[in-house]
Chains A and B, each alone.
Chain A
């Protein structure tokens, strides 16, 4: 049995969904993009152009849910399947788009560079429990107009895993699609085997900006999966109660479903979000708050109830360093998210309210993810009955270390974290240098960097990626890209 966590009875889910329906029909959503409004108007939504509002009837919402895929897959740069967003399958991805990184030498936060990004891709490429890359932070050494496409470029040039990403402007979409075409070869091949997921954020309460609504339409038309990231903030930009926040989140996310499915029926989507409570003492949006995590798990239940695969920003921390708070908030989130069966879990590596990535934390979190993945495989009998022969064997042999049964099931039954999580006895730990967790994490990063191998691309693909990126940079007056390793 897969262990699962549940916060909402079906009756409560029904009520929340119905209430969200009333909000979409009565209040509607503001859409600050005339083309998207026209698209909605042409396809059955009631639109007030002067007020830039669209109203969705429960029927229209149902129709859009009916065309939405219940599952979809992602593929790595070679076209091999990596993600099956279906049922309660769980995949982890690093928290994305941080403003800063935690410098391992100085322990201080600073703006990242190209070199940091390449380090990151080389590491994440080899982390066995992190299924995709995300464009985890923004290199600050390129023109700001290319900072979103440039991180995708580096991810595809140095990494093999699919990428969770997004654009900051309408204009950047074209090159971010073309970089993917360079890898896949054709628009049809990209559509058949998605390589990325784009995050698209409605603005709470009940608004779609010009940029993000256009992103939804552009992605769906190119066959690029989207994840909706609504961020109602309980007690501030949403009701203080978790149920009230869930109603608002449901309305905002369903409005994304409608835009996507009307733009392109059948478009793959993740029912996602990044809601948080608002801490009225510090004016912050804590991702490590237990109520934030509860809201994430609960809306994922609603998404699944509606038949959609889900995503959440959970398993990250608000700590400023790699300290005990960082570990406990991330582990708690990863555990709850895995038990809930959230399909795409965005969080590992992240500190400080989604604003700082740490490579050291990422390699630690990789092991936390490993434990969570083990956890949800649950407890299953494996040649355990009848139990008598095994116990007879134990009494006779004095131990089961080399029993055939042990050898068959050891690695399935026991997950071995490390080298960041430490299980050595004290004497051995001391003999091996008495390293702190941060030191072990650093050492692991160095090992991964030494073992890194670049993707096995044909040289034309590599050339084309570079040519497309350089062309984009020149559009904004940047003649050369920062230096990067071969």
Chain B
């Protein structure tokens, strides 16, 4: 079997040691880090994502695969140069100011990393200015915000408005959490809404591709 397929297969079963060893082997065979990432790791994660969506596997299986992915990524990251396929994109995430609910946001972060995104997690109770400043400084493509309280939803709009006011119109925004919805995203001018970690990955992938 092709070594990239093998990486993908071991990744799907969450075997991090094998994935790392095979990544090492692939590098020895002079495969480019970008190809290993794209055709081995990211391809494997795409399969995992589909299986999870279809209830063939459960969240822990996805997280194991994500962990294997992260391990191999650490190895590849310094080797990715020039226009070689970089990470899928850079995403700044956080739970908005006044809100301490971070379980869902953390899960979204784990899944995004697992899918191959570079994630900067600002934690919980994050002031709008910090989302905006970080997105600018880190040249992020996407800002993802989480809120679980009726009282903190409006902070999301502040972030969207502030990004616009700062001229960061190329930064896409996506929101999530129990009180918000696709309608609310439209209402505040956010680009998209995700209802769980799987949909977060899907939506953010689309936003980055557009």
Listed in ascending order, the chain A residues whose CB lies under 8 Å from chain B are 99-100, 111, 138, 140, 144-145, 147-148, 168-169, 203, 209, 211, 233, 236-237, 280-283, 353, 355
Contact = CB atoms under 8 A, between A and B. Distances in A.
B200 to A, nearest CB: 10
Given A99-B178, A280-B58, A280-B60, A236 B103 contact: yes
Contacts of A355: 178-179
Nearest to A235: B60
B150 A281 contact: no
Interface of B: 55, 58-60, 98, 100, 103-104, 107, 149-152, 154, 178-179, 196-197
Contacts of A145: 151
Contacts of A169: 98
B149 A168 contact: yes
Contact of A283 (B55, B151, B196): B196
CB-based closest 5 A-B pairs = A144-B151, A280-B59, A280-B58, A99-B179, A138-B150
Nearest to B149: A168
Contacts of A147: 150-151
Nearest to B180: A99
B143 to A, nearest CB: 21
B196 A281 contact: no
Contacts of A283: 59, 104, 107, 196-197
Grouping DSSP codes into helix (H, G, I), strand (E, B) and loop, the A interface class, with mixed when no group exceeds half, is loop
Contact of A353 (B150, B178, B197): B178
A138 B148 CA distance: 13
Nearest to B196: A283
Contacts of B154: 144
Contacts of B98: 168-169
A281 B178 contact: no
Contacts of B58: 280-281
A111 B58 CA distance: 32
B116 to A, nearest CB: 20
11 contacts: A99-B178, A99-B179, A100-B179, A140-B150, A148-B151, A211-B100, A233-B103, A280-B59, A280-B60, A281-B55, A281-B59
Contacts of B197: 283
Contacts of B60: 280
A128 B60 CA distance: 45
Nearest to A353: B178
Contacts of B107: 283
Contacts of A100: 179
Contacts of A203: 100
A223 B150 CA distance: 29
A148 B178 CA distance: 18
Contacts of B149: 168
| Most chain A C-beta atoms within 10 Å of own C-beta, residue among B55, B98, B150, B151 | B150
B151 A168 contact: yes
Contacts of B59: 280-281, 283
A144 B150 contact: yes
Contacts of B151: 138, 144-145, 147-148, 168
Contact of B100 (A111, A138, A209, A237): A209
A263 to B, nearest CB: 21
Nearest to B151: A144
B103 A237 contact: yes
A111 B150 contact: yes
| Most chain A C-beta atoms within 10 Å of own C-beta, residue among B107, B178, B196, B197 | B178
Nearest to A278: B59
A138 B104 CA distance: 21
Contacts of A282: 196
A276 to B, nearest CB: 11
Contacts of B150: 99, 111, 138, 140, 144, 147
B90 to A, nearest CB: 24
B182 to A, nearest CB: 14
Given A138-B150, A144-B152, A148-B151, 17 more contacts: A99-B150, A99-B179, A111-B150, A140-B150, A144-B150, A144-B154, A145-B151, A168-B149, A203-B100, A209-B100, A236-B103, A280-B60, A281-B55, A281-B58, A282-B196, A283-B104, A355-B179
Contacts of A111: 150
A209 B100 CA distance: 8
A362 to B, nearest CB: 20
A281 B55 CA distance: 7
A99 B101 CA distance: 14
A202 to B, nearest CB: 11
Nearest to A143: B151
Nearest to B60: A280
Nearest to A356: B178
A113 to B, nearest CB: 12
B152 to A, nearest CB: 8
A103 to B, nearest CB: 15
A147 B153 CA distance: 13
B178 to A, nearest CB: 5
Nearest to A145: B151
Nearest to A32: B100
A100 B58 CA distance: 29
Contacts of B55: 281
B201 to A, nearest CB: 12
A60 to B, nearest CB: 27
A473 to B, nearest CB: 14
